[in-house]
Amino acid sequence: MRAYKGVVEGGVVVLKDCKLPEGTVVTITVGEGELLRATIASALKRPKKLRVRLRPEPGGLTLAAHSSRKVVK
């Protein structure tokens, strides 16, 4: 068993300075301190979310109010 260094990029683990054969099964171990540091760094770098609040129309919506089709006999 060997240890390789890597980093997670876009949800995928990218190994640094090594090449493994296609189909190699790997087990990833992450230390608690490293996971906590990465979580905090990710939260600080994340763009702020914009919240949009819609105010409902008084009286609600009706199907007849939005119907633009005319019935032709």
Q: Give the tens place of pLDDT for each residue, 2-12.
A: 888 888 888 88
Q: Output the pLDDT for position 26.
A: 85
Question: How sure is the predictor about 72, in pLDDT bands with cuts at 50, 70 and 90?
Answer: low
Looking at the domain assignment, is residue 58 inside a domain? no
Looking at the domain assignment, is residue 64 inside a domain? no
Domain range enclosing 33? 6-45
Number of domains observed in the structure of the chain? 1
Q: Six-digit token pair at 36? A: 């906590």
Looking at the domain assignment, is residue 12 inside a domain? yes
Looking at the domain assignment, is residue 54 inside a domain? no
Looking at the domain assignment, is residue 13 inside a domain? yes
What are the tens digits of pLDDT across the range 10-69?
888 888 888 888 888 888 888 888 888 888 888 888 777 777 888 777 766 555 555 555
Looking at the domain assignment, is residue 34 inside a domain? yes
What's the one-letter identity of residue 5? K
Using the 8-state DSSP alphabet, how is residue 54 labeled?
A: P
Q: Output the pLDDT for position 63.
A: 55
Looking at the domain assignment, is residue 36 inside a domain? yes
Looking at the domain assignment, is residue 38 inside a domain? yes
